[in-house]
Every structure is written in structure tokens, then in C-alpha cells.
Structure 1
Amino acid sequence: MDEHDMTAVKSAADAKPAAARKGPARTRKPAASKKKTPADPGLAALQADVNQLAASVAADGAALAARWEGWVETPEFAPSAANLSHYLALRHRDLRPLQRRLMAAGLSSLGRAESRVMPTLHAVERLLGAATGKGLAASASPNVQDDHFFAGEERIRQRADALLGALQETRPARLLVTVPGEAAGDPAFFTELANLGVEAVRINCAHDGESAWASMIAHVEAAAHATGRRMKVMMDLPGPKIRTGALKKGKNGSRVFPESELAVVRPGHLDAAPRKLPAIECELGQALEAAEPGHRVFIDDGKLAATVLSAQDWGLVLGIDTGPETEGYKLKPEKGINFPDSDVLVPALTADDRDLLPFVAHHADGVEFSFVQTPEDVEELQAALARERPEDWRSIGLVLKIETRRAVRNLPDMLVRAAGRQPTAVLIARGDLAVEIGFARLAEMQEEILWLCEAAHVPVIWATQVMESLMKTGIASRGEMTDAAMAARAECVMLNKGPHLFRGITVLEGLLTRMGGHMHKKAHLLRSLQSW
């Protein structure tokens, strides 16, 4: 090819369109349209149900709280009373079907909402709103910080520290130790308690007297000076004494057997009882007046169980249902009598209690109120405290001892009436309560009391026979160690006196410390396991 031909080819190439020189044209595909993923109909239905639940709980809670209007005089308790009303509204519903749906969706099942009812419901609403794309329900609050969500837990901690003593860092529950009478002359006893980390001591005003109590309190102050740890002082008012008194022997002496009969009489009426029957006094005549045929009666923490056969002017005839069969039950004075089916309408604050108040109100950090059953009982004690210390009675702690069916029924109202005015805790008196509601129901009821108090942001004292065998013999049973482990869910554990008290405190310290890594209230904590 000569030079002319080369020039012709080049010219022809230059004449081609630019697109042709670059090769075949690329076809541009239209932009893919973004298809919106349809919302999961199951989540949408779940969102609607949770929204409805939250709105209903808020409305019903407000209606429940209306009866407490004017009761909350301490502003710090207002959010706690509101949360309690919401919790009552929530638990009036059977939530089990909804819980399973929430779990399947990977959401909170509401099973640990006690101290934060509406924040928990709103948190679930927010997540469902994001998952369905429908946003928040009108009732839901925007996202909140952790310190707001867990504010109820912090309120319980602060209130327990203030009333029952600042908690040791190593364990989840405080220790409250009942002081034996002989410790009034033993200052070293209190120093040892302080050294072992005990947060509070309990003085039972049914025993000893003001001189002994003053010595005990002086020893507490001396121990605080020596150790740098000041233990709180709780003083227990005896309350009405529903106990056995003097007795009259029958044909078997002072022993009664199942399927036999027993006369329980008013004080001073032993001679009025049928001659053929053994008879024993009940120190509180009003209790006998409240009992009717068919009502149950328990003596000595249920060791003797009976049913009222007839009511007489002088007292009651009981038919013995259960008790020791071989040797029978030996009747003794100063044993408790329980009337679980009878409404024993007596003032919780007795004349004897009122006589003790001038000393108690000026020396105790907290008053333990025995046999309290109604908000009116609470108000009566508060009025008496106000007369003793008009300027600062609200600084005195109040411990409500829950011992009867009636107290359980009225617990929400009593919590608001008490904690709405002054620092408050609840003591689960499991001995009397077990007899009142039945031993089979005690485990269930102590759980419900724990939940209710957590909802009210009120600390709880787990009491009665904690590690009793260890305290008395130095050897613990398997059952009582398991029971003590569960006490880690309360803010405080009460120990009674015994020759092995100090060893018991050390054992309980280790047990509670270990359990504190596994649970907080109803929540199971997932600390690392070391056994495998």
C-alpha cells in the first residue's frame, strides 16, 4: 500500500463517529426502584397490643392512684407512688400470652419491670415502632437515658442506705441482728458486730427495759467510735399480744392430742371452762370475740392446729386437728395464737406501745411496727410520733411488719401512707405470716411482697428463722442455706440471736456475696461461670 492509500484509510477512519471508534454503545439500565419491605404483620399486631397495654396501664394506674390523693407529702416519693399504681394496673392482667409473643420477637417480656413499669413499656413501644416503620405511639416517650430508666433501682438503694445503713460493697443485702438481752452488759458484742460489717441492730422492746436498751444503744455508739462504723438502731414495738396465758390441766395433764378438744378462754376465766377439758387463756380477749365456728386457730407457730367448734361467753371450744400424735402437744404460756380466718379488729398501737414511744422516738433510727394491718394503723403511729418529735418526726424510719392476711391485702395503701411521709421499709415476718396464710403459700406470698415493694421503691427486710439451725447448733441444713441464698433479693436480712451468731454472719456474708453476682431482685445476672 503506497502513501496515497495510507492517507485515504486514515481519512476514512477519522471520518467515523466517535461512538463507533469506542466500540459498541453501552445501554444504560434505568435505576432500580427501591421496594419497601412490607412490615411483618405479626410485629404490627404486637405493636398494636403493646400500645394498647401501655395506654390502659397509664389510665388505670391514674385511677388507682386517685385514692391516694393528699397522702404523698414527701415529693421524693411521688414518682414511686405513680410507679406502684402502674404496677398494680399491669399485674391486674394476665400477661402470659403477650409475654411469649414478646420473647419470640426478641423483646423484653416485661418480667423485670417492677421498678420501672412505664419506662419498660415505652422501651418496647420504641423498638416495635422502629421495626414496623410506624414510629412511636402517641403515648410513648422519646428515648431516655439509662439513669432515668434505672431511677427506681437507685431510689431503693438510697432509701435502704438511709434507713438500714450503708451497704457493704461485697454483698447485695444488709444485715440486721437482733440483740440478746445479755448484750446490754457486753460492749464487745457490738464491737464484734461492727467489725463483721453488720449494718443495723434490732432491739425487741417486748423484753428487757429502758435501762437495758439505753446500755445497748450506748454500746452501739462506742462501737462506732472504735471501728468507724455506726450501726443503725431499730426498735421493735411489741404490739397486741395474741398469746397464751395461764392454763388449767385436763385428764392428760397439760397435753392435748389430735381429735381431742381444748378450751381457749378470756383472761381470768379458766374456771368457767368445762371441767373435763384442758383450758388455756388467750391474753387478747378481742381475738376470741372475732372467731366463729369453723374458723381455724393455730398455736405456737402452727405446732397445734385446731378448728373452732363453738363460741361461748367465756371463750372458745376448739377441736384439735393436727399436732404431735404420740406424746401430744404440751400447753405452755407465752406462745403465739393465730386466727387466720378471723378479722381481729384491735389497734396495732397498744397502750403499752404508747408508753414506750417517748424512749423509742428519741433513741431509735427506725421503729418496727408490729401487727400493723391498715393505713389507719400507720396514720395513728405517725400522729403519735409527731406528738413526741413535732419538729422532725419525719426523719424517723418506719418498718412495717407484715404478719397477717389483712396486712397483705392492705399493703399498697399502707406503703403509700407510710412512705409518703417518712423513710419506710417492709419486714416480711415469715413466721406469723406462714401460719396466717398457710405454709404452702408462704413462698409465693413472700415473692409477691418483694415485687410490690420494689414497685414502690421501698426496701425489704427478709426475716424469721434465717439459718436458725446454724445459729443454734453451728450446723446448717440444706434447706435453710437455700432459703438464705434467696434472701439476696431483699435489701436486708435479719438474723436472730444464737450461740453461733458470729459464725453465722461470716457464712451468710460469703453466701450473699456469691449470690449477688448471680441475681439482682428478679433479674439473673450473667457473670462468668468458673465451674466448667
Structure 2
Amino acid sequence: MHELTDAAVRAAKIHTEMTALKQAVLAEDPKQFGFTAERDPAIANLGHYLALRRHDIRPLQRRLMALGLSSMGRLESRVLPTFDAVLGALSCLAGAQDSATLLPSEAEFFAGEARLEAAGVVLFGAPVAHRRTRIMVTLPSEAAESPDLILDLARAGMDVARINCAHDGPQAWRAMTAFVRTAAGIVGRDIKVLMDVAGPKIRTGEVASSQKKARLQPGDRVRLVASGAPRIDSEVPFSAAVSLPEMVTRLSVGDRLRYDDGKLEAVVESLGDGEAVILVRRTKAGGTKLKPEKGINLPDTALGLSPLTAKDETDLVTVIECADLIGYSFVSRPEDIDLLDAVLASHGRNDRQLGLIAKIEQPLALSNLPALIARARQRGPFGVMIARGDLAAEIGFERLAEMQEELLWICEAASVPCVWATQVLEDMVKEGIPTRGEMTDAAMAARAECVMLNKGPAVVEAVSLLDRLMGRMNDHVFKKTPTLRALKSW
């Protein structure tokens, strides 16, 4: 009897604390997160989630666990229903006859999960029976002349075909799309086509070095030129043109630069007329080779560029014709969504609503994400791509691991499907044999609604492996929640 009394006292105290916490969450003004109070229940839940996460509830979580109750650790899609369920259970433990606090029904409790599942179906199509995570594959240029490759990918498990508009052209894109439609008919599944507009991606152009096979090492200097051919001399033996001349003119001494998804880090040492000299600080083991068409990230430099270039606006004509989904690079603000819609409207967008995938790859996109989500959900099918390569190069590898988790949580709270992207099974795709680390990374992708593979010689085999892996993980985990199927190893 003493233990029951003690539990009742503890439950009553926690009930009082949780009631106050719930009221604090409800009192938060959603305008501080970049959106107003919405009729959309997903956005309302997102506001509640963001308000709750301003509190450190770790001590409360442990006290709830000791009473055998939910620790509030998996409430992303159901903030208020979780509060109500826990408060109802606490009332029972405290011995209170509190008719005002009613346990939510099972349907009410899991309504957020249902919203997310429905959003995933609208965006990506229905999942296959054995896995909820779809598989997206970036098509190589040769896919425009190889219907057999696309059919092999479809048979292996591809659910979304990604066309990168930074490469090839409208004729090739139309051919790839036609082959995808044909393959989908043969395998009897709806395979979506995502066309990814390039945006103002900064890449190296023509390169030059005093030694053809030399690799950049810490202490080396590289001259970046805004126009004309690369220029080398005895003091700066490496040089590269850049795809975006404005980049060079907007740099400042001391600005950091990362090259090829962070394989090299450098700092701006000096500036000249239309050129900048950078000093290499870090490289991968053995050095890094300077090559054309490699990405450059500038985490300290405000470029002030539109997310849509003149090329993108031209490419959107073919995107409207061919695609089911648009991949939007460098989107950072809600106004960027309006800009895209205005360009689509100017091209006479047809009645078919194109889904939108916002690629989150810059710090500004992170800080504006709630408002961006609220705006994008108003226009139709919407998802977020965690573009881990560019994101890591912008915010640093040290922060990437926690940030990709936070993005998954925010998107789940808003019922927004997520794409887990960049270097998934990269060694497997390129070499045919995965590493242990990338297999673990791929398994973690089961918490997203879609996982993206890049192109490579062994991509068909990688899709097959990922299809099997996602099927097994489907039995073990749903988002942050372990699902305890019977174990067979012991």
C-alpha cells in the first residue's frame, strides 16, 4: 500500500508539472516560428513541437519512465495527443476521477502518422509491400540511350528516377522519362520522375597545375579566376576557373572554402582583380586532386543569389512536360517557393500538380525551415531532401550528424516526407562492395520516406541490396520507434 501511495503522490506532482508545460506550449505564438496559427493540423502540430523543444524535459522524462509511462521521446507527429495520453494515465495513477482529461482514441493518437503516410503516397506513390522507404536513383547520362538499364533498375526496386538537370539536355531528359514510363508499365508499379533543377551551384571549371598528377596538400595555394583561363605561376602552382564569376568578386580575406563535398578545406588568403588566392588548410589522406565540375561551398560568404538561374527557368519548360516532381536546389526562404510558382505559371504549367522536393543544403534554409514548410504545404505535395553533402560542407561535418536527425524530427512533426541523400552506399555503387560504415548509414535511412542512390557502375546491384536491407529494417524500426518483431538469432 505504501508503494501505491508513493506512486500516486509522484504521479500527482508530475501531472501538475506536465499540465503547466502543456499550457506553456499552447501559449507560444506560432509567428515566432515564421508562420501564423494554421488550420492545417500538421503545421499546428509543428508549432507545438517547436514550442516544446524550447524546454529541456530530460529530468521529467526519467520520472515518467520510472512510472512505466511514455517518456515523451517519440511524440514528433502527435504532441498534444501524447500530452493528453500521459496526463490521463497520470490521473489514473494519482487516483483522480478527472473526467476533463480523457485519453485520446487510438485513431486520434496516431493521426499524425496517418498524415505522414498519406503525404508520402501522394508524393512518391504507394510503397511496395515489404518496405515503407522508397528508393530514388540518379540516372546517368547513358540512361538516355539504355532502356534496359532503367528496366533493370525498376526490377531491382527503384521507385523514383532522378534526372539531374545540371547534366545532359532536354532531348536526353525526354528519352529517360519515356524509358521510365515504359519500365513502370512492364513491372506494374508507379515509378515517379524527379527532375532536379541545378540552381546557382558553384563548381570548378577548367583547371591547371604545374604538375599534371599533383594533388593538393595543406599549405598549397590555388588561384580562382572569375573569367578567362586559369593562371599559374611559381608561387601559386594550381588554378581553376569557376562556374559563377560573382563568387570570386564577393569573397573576403579569411572566408572559408570547401571543395568536393568537404574533401578539401581552404581559406581566402588574398584578393586581386577578378581572382582570389586560397590557402589549403586540410585535405583527405593523400591529398586531393583539383578537377573540373567539382562543387565549391562558401560557408562564410553571403552571395545573395536567386535560387533559380536563367538556365533553370529554361529547363523548367521540359520539367513541366516530363516530371512528376521538381527538385529545388538552394531554396532558403518561403519567398523562394513563390518565385518557383511564378516561373512555372509563366511557362503555362498544366493542370497536373507537380510535387516539390526542397533540398536543404544551406544554413539559411535550416533557420527558415518551419516557415518554408508552412508555405510549401499550401501549394500541394511537398517533401524535403536532406542534401548531406552540401549541408556538411556548409555547416561542417561535426554538426551534420545531429542536424540530419533534427531535420527528420521537424519533418515528421509537420507530416513532410523526407529524402535521405548523398553518398548512400557510394562504394557499393562505384566498386560493387559496400563498406561496413555505409551499410550502417543506409540502414539508418529506413527512418526516412525515401533514400537516394547516386549513379555508378554497380547501381543496379546497390538498388537490390538496398531493397532487401530496407525490407529487413522495416520490421525493426518506424521513425524513432523500435518495433519488436520476434528475433530469430537466439
Q: 2:51 aligns with which of 68, 89, 109?
A: 89
Q: In 1, are the aligned partners of 2:7 and 2:67 still within 8 Å (CA)?
A: no
Q: 1:111 aligns with which of 52, 73, 91?
A: 73
Q: Are 1:44 and 2:12 matched, yes or no?
A: yes
Q: Are 1:396 and 2:358 matched, yes or no?
A: no
Q: Report the residue type matching 1:118 in the other structure.
A: L
Q: Are 1:525 and 2:483 matched, yes or no?
A: yes
Q: 2:26 aligns with which of 49, 58, 70?
A: 58
Q: Are 1:148 and 2:108 matched, yes or no?
A: yes
Post-superposition shift, 1:96?
0.9
Structure-to-structure mapping, 1:64-463, within 5 angstroms: 64=32, 67-69=34-36, 78-136=40-98, 142-250=102-210, 255-268=215-228, 270=230, 276-277=235-236, 278-323=238-283, 328-389=287-348, 392=351, 395-463=353-421
Q: In 2, are the aligned partners of 1:265 and 1:280 still within 8 Å (CA)?
A: yes
Q: In 2, are the aligned partners of 1:220 and 1:230 still within 8 Å (CA)?
A: no
Q: In 2, are the aligned partners of 1:235 and 1:367 still within 8 Å (CA)?
A: yes
Rate the CA distance shift 1:247–1:54 in 2: closer, same or farther, 3 A: same
Percent pairwise identity: 46
CA distance in 2, matches of 1:43, 1:134: 10
Residue 247 of structure 1 aligns to a residue whose secondary structure is strand
Rate the CA distance shift 1:443–1:471 in 2: closer, same or farther, 3 A: same
Residue 392 of structure 2 aligns to a residue whose secondary structure is helix
CA distance in 2, matches of 1:467, 1:121: 39
Post-superposition shift, 1:375?
1.6
Match of 1:473? 431
Q: In 2, are the aligned partners of 1:50 and 1:125 still within 8 Å (CA)?
A: yes
The CA deviation string for residues 60-94 of structure 1, in whole angstroms up to 9 with x for no partner, is 154546x4249x7xx6xx11110111111111111
Rate the CA distance shift 1:247–1:197 in 2: closer, same or farther, 3 A: closer
The CA deviation string for residues 337-392 of structure 1, in whole angstroms up to 9 with x for no partner, is 11112223111111110011111022211000011122222221122223334563
Residue 92 of structure 1 aligns to a residue whose secondary structure is coil
Post-superposition shift, 1:288?
3.2
Post-superposition shift, 1:121?
0.8
CA distance in 2, matches of 1:144, 1:48: 19
Q: In 1, are the aligned partners of 2:307 and 2:329 still within 8 Å (CA)?
A: yes
Q: Report the residue type matching 1:41 in the other structure.
A: V
The CA deviation string for residues 188-211 of structure 1, in whole angstroms up to 9 with x for no partner, is 223233333321111111111111
Post-superposition shift, 1:129?
2.0
Match of 2:442? 484
Q: In 2, are the aligned partners of 1:223 and 1:230 still within 8 Å (CA)?
A: no
Q: Report the residue type matching 1:503 in the other structure.
A: E
| Greater Cα offset, 471-480 or 309-318 | 309-318
Q: In 1, are the aligned partners of 2:64 and 2:70 still within 8 Å (CA)?
A: yes
Q: In 1, are the aligned partners of 2:11 and 2:91 still within 8 Å (CA)?
A: no
Q: In 1, are the aligned partners of 2:227 and 2:274 still within 8 Å (CA)?
A: no
Match of 2:471? 513
Q: TM-score, normalised by structure 2?
A: 0.93
Residue 28 of structure 2 aligns to a residue whose secondary structure is helix
Q: 1:502 aligns with which of 413, 435, 460?
A: 460
Q: Report the residue type matching 2:292 in the other structure.
A: P
Post-superposition shift, 1:294?
2.4
Residue 309 of structure 1 aligns to a residue whose secondary structure is strand
Q: In 1, are the aligned partners of 2:361 and 2:387 still within 8 Å (CA)?
A: yes
Post-superposition shift, 1:269?
7.4
Residue 161 of structure 1 aligns to a residue whose secondary structure is helix
Rate the CA distance shift 1:253–1:185 in 2: closer, same or farther, 3 A: closer
- Tell me how many residue pairs correspond in the alignment: 486
Rate the CA distance shift 1:256–1:471 in 2: closer, same or farther, 3 A: closer
CA distance in 2, matches of 1:380, 1:321: 38
The CA deviation string for residues 259-311 of structure 1, in whole angstroms up to 9 with x for no partner, is 2322223123756x877323322222333344333221111222221112234
In structure 1, stretches of 5+ residues that fail to align are 1-35
CA distance in 1, matches of 2:274, 2:61: 56
Residue 359 of structure 1 aligns to a residue whose secondary structure is helix
Post-superposition shift, 1:95?
1.3
Q: Report the residue type matching 1:237 in the other structure.
A: V
Q: TM-score, normalised by structure 1?
A: 0.86
CA distance in 2, matches of 1:251, 1:363: 45
Q: In 2, are the aligned partners of 1:194 and 1:230 still within 8 Å (CA)?
A: no
Post-superposition shift, 1:255?
4.7
Rate the CA distance shift 1:495–1:330 in 2: closer, same or farther, 3 A: closer
Q: Report the residue type matching 1:263 in the other structure.
A: R
Residue 420 of structure 1 aligns to a residue whose secondary structure is helix
Residue 404 of structure 2 aligns to a residue whose secondary structure is helix
In structure 2, stretches of 5+ residues that fail to align are none
Q: In 1, are the aligned partners of 2:8 and 2:95 still within 8 Å (CA)?
A: no
CA distance in 1, matches of 2:437, 2:483: 23
Post-superposition shift, 1:245?
1.7
CA distance in 2, matches of 1:424, 1:224: 22
Post-superposition shift, 1:119?
0.7
Q: In 2, are the aligned partners of 1:125 and 1:136 still within 8 Å (CA)?
A: no
The CA deviation string for residues 419-440 of structure 1, in whole angstroms up to 9 with x for no partner, is 1212101111111112212222
The CA deviation string for residues 129-187 of structure 1, in whole angstroms up to 9 with x for no partner, is 2222445597x5x3322112111111111111111121011013111111111111222
RMSD: 2.4
Q: In 2, are the aligned partners of 1:201 and 1:234 still within 8 Å (CA)?
A: yes
CA distance in 1, matches of 2:297, 2:314: 25
CA distance in 1, matches of 2:66, 2:452: 41
Q: In 2, are the aligned partners of 1:434 and 1:442 still within 8 Å (CA)?
A: yes
Q: Report the residue type matching 1:203 in the other structure.
A: I
Residue 270 of structure 2 aligns to a residue whose secondary structure is strand
Q: Report the residue type matching 1:148 in the other structure.
A: E
CA distance in 2, matches of 1:337, 1:310: 18
Residue 360 of structure 1 aligns to a residue whose secondary structure is helix
Post-superposition shift, 1:325?
7.3
